[in-house]
Amino acid sequence: MSLGNETLYPVTDHPIDVQDLIDALPFFVMLVDDKHRILAVNSAIVTHYGCKQEQLIGRHCPEIVHGTSKSHSGCPLEEAILTGTSVEKELFDERIQGWFSSAICPTKHRTQDGSRIYVHIVSDITRRRLAEEAQRTAYERLQRTVEGVIRALTKTVEFNIIKKHSQIGYEILKDIEFSWPIAQIVLQHQERLDGSGYPQGLSGDEIMPEARILAVADVVEAMSSHRPYRQALGINVALQEISKNKAILYDPEVVDATLTLFRSKKFKWTNKH
């Protein structure tokens, strides 16, 4: 054979021995036919099973590899026989509790009885699959952490916006002429009796009576309504909140009136979503 001015010579003048080739491979290599009979095995298989090659030739492949007389579920040889193409699958073996890659490659050669010969390659991929599972678990954990951080940031931003809305409402309303001090009521409706509210930190009688009424109404409506960062908590939870903090955060007379309205007079929100 020539290429340009060069002459290429075969690597060897002797026929290449198939057994020598498959023995050089570190994973399991077998030649099998379409009846699952083992025609040849490499030294890796012989070493693994601790027997002589002659003891494996002619045996049923699933019996040696999987310890069963039946084909392994998902055996790629069956698919390769049907399609006439190479097939590779990753399978879990319950017997050894491990993963393995099983590849079948059809050849043009046949046995004396006409059965087609296939190259069957099996390698242990348990360590790789475990590493992939560990990586997937770590990713899912990281994803949950990131989602938790995002939710926390969302709540923080939402709360900061909420803290500003009293002042913003006041700025919008302060120059409009009402019969009542609406702008001041809106400004103070987030104040609390113990001085823990905002934006001015007012307490007790410093808070207008109308603002105290609006404060309780606002809490009940907010807690029983849906928010972007949580589902509605429900009217019962809202009433528990104002009852628990009666005379601490909220005006006691307003709380009593609200509880009577919902519990005794059976008031319900209309067009509530």
Mean pLDDT across the chain: 85
- Which of 205, 215, 265, 211 minimizes the C-alpha distance to 245? 215
Mean pLDDT of 34-50: 89
pLDDT of residue 197: 92
Range from 1-15, 143-157, 211-225, 235-249 carrying the lowest mean pLDDT: 1-15
* Preceding amide of 10 cis, omega within 30: no
* CA separation for the pair 38, 113 (Å, rounded): 14
Percent of the chain with pLDDT over 70: 90
Q: 43, exposed or middle or buried, with CB in 10 Å at 0-12, 13-18, 19+?
A: middle
* CA separation for the pair 273, 256 (Å, rounded): 25
- Could you give all domains of the chain from N- to C-terminal order, each with its CATH number? 2-128 (3.30.450.20), 151-264 (1.10.3210.10)
- Who has greater pLDDT, 103 or 232? 103
* CA separation for the pair 193, 69 (Å, rounded): 82
Q: Specify the pTM.
A: 0.49
* CA separation for the pair 3, 6 (Å, rounded): 5
Question: For tokens 């030294």, what's the residue?
Answer: 43
For residue range 148-182, what is the model confidence (pLDDT) as tens digits? Answer: 888 887 777 777 777 788 888 899 998 888 889 99
